[in-house]
Amino acid sequence: MDFGVNLPFAMENALAILMAALIFNLVFCKESLLNRTFRSPVAIVSRLVDTFERRYNRPELSPAMRRADGISIVFSSLIMALAVGFVFEILATLMPYGWLVEVAVIATLFSLRPHLDHSRILAEALERDVAEARATLALTTGRDAHRLDELGIARAGIETSAISFAEGILTPVIYFLMFGVPGLFAFKIINVGANMIDVRSTDFADFGNAFCRLNSIFLWPGVKLAVIFISLSALFTKPSKSFTALTAGFGKCPGFFRPHLGAPVAALAGALNTRLGGPVCFEEKTIEGCWLNENAPEPLSHHMLEARSIFFLASMIVVATLVLFYNFDIWMPADSLRGFGAWVWSLFTS
């Protein structure tokens, strides 16, 4: 929607903002640098969700009360995220060169550079020593790393690449383009909440049920599109496996320990021609799961590096798609919100 005003100093195109944010993330968003500079929005959300959980997930409450509290916290979190995102979007539009702040904040919500660093460090650690690799994996995943052998560590690292692309790159891109910063903030608070509140534990199953169900709904479009981008990436690494990745990703993935994320993991298993999935250990409990690409060889450390390459290529294909849309001046729903900010500016300056 065109509000008929031009805002000075602002970058009104959501595609341009998003491209700049992804490039900023790739160049500057090393996790150590972020932690030294400021507390990232994801860390703030994590602390907020943890506060909600400790306050409202009390052991004396009945399961029905915990579920009710979980639903109310989900709706409260959504309203808060949408409100904060809307105010932030307007302020970033009103401020001279506020788009620079917007780019920097949005960049911290993607997992592009952090995952590239984590996956490289894990692969190098696995090549040196299994014990070192277990310690490295324990820092980035909730799995019981001390129970994993070399194959289990490699499998966990590869699966994380597929999940990080769908959950940390593609889905945030979709919600920003559709609903602007409010949509991005809303997705992140639900996603962080679902990942923090472990429904596999009896202490959290009832309280976290609403978070996890809504997170599955939010992730659905990104998960399906991730299969396509992973398959396209395989054309540059293993062209003969690109169609295999596509058919595996859109096939049935029953029994994966995170069912709503099984499709991109299956696609990556097909692209690498390796076996993924199977039983997964959390908090000394084993969750039975099906094998994806069951008849393929077991993964090794070099498969982790190949998965990292596919993750990077898929992310660059996303950026290339954004550039293509930008060159053809394709309108995105998020542009209406930016135009609304320009209209607000005109009201106060006319």
Each residue's pLDDT expressed in tens, for the chain with a length of 350 residues = 444 444 444 456 889 999 999 999 999 887 655 554 555 566 777 777 778 777 777 777 888 888 888 898 899 999 999 999 988 988 887 777 888 999 999 999 999 999 999 999 999 999 999 999 999 998 888 788 888 999 999 999 999 999 999 999 999 999 999 999 999 999 999 998 888 776 556 667 788 889 899 999 999 999 999 999 999 999 999 999 999 999 999 987 767 878 889 999 999 999 999 999 988 887 777 777 888 998 899 999 999 999 999 999 999 999 999 999 999 888 888 877 766 656 665 666 66
**Amino acid present at 277:** G
Residue 2: inside a domain, yes or no?
Answer: no
Contact between residue 303 and residue 158 where contact means Cβ atoms under 8 Å apart? yes
Residue 343 exposed, middle or buried by CB count within 10 Å (0-12, 13-18, 19+)? middle
pLDDT at res. 331: 82
Residue 7: inside a domain, yes or no?
Answer: no
- CA 307, CA 61: separation in Å to the nearest integer? 44
Q: In the chain, how many domains are there?
A: 1
Q: What's the token pair of residue 33?
A: 């640098």
The conformation of residue 260, written as its DSSP 8-state character, comes to G
pLDDT at res. 130: 93
Residue 1: inside a domain, yes or no?
Answer: no
CA angle 274, 230, 273 (to 5 degrees): 15
Residue 5: inside a domain, yes or no?
Answer: no
Range of the domain at 160: 14-342
pLDDT at res. 257: 79
For residue 117, give Cα distances in angstroms to 29, 59, 129, 130. Answer: 10, 39, 18, 19
Residue 8: inside a domain, yes or no?
Answer: no
How many Cβ atoms sit within 10 Å of the Cβ of residue 304? Answer: 27
Residue 168: inside a domain, yes or no?
Answer: yes
CA angle 51, 54, 55 (to 5 degrees): 85
Residue 347: inside a domain, yes or no?
Answer: no
Residue 219: inside a domain, yes or no?
Answer: yes
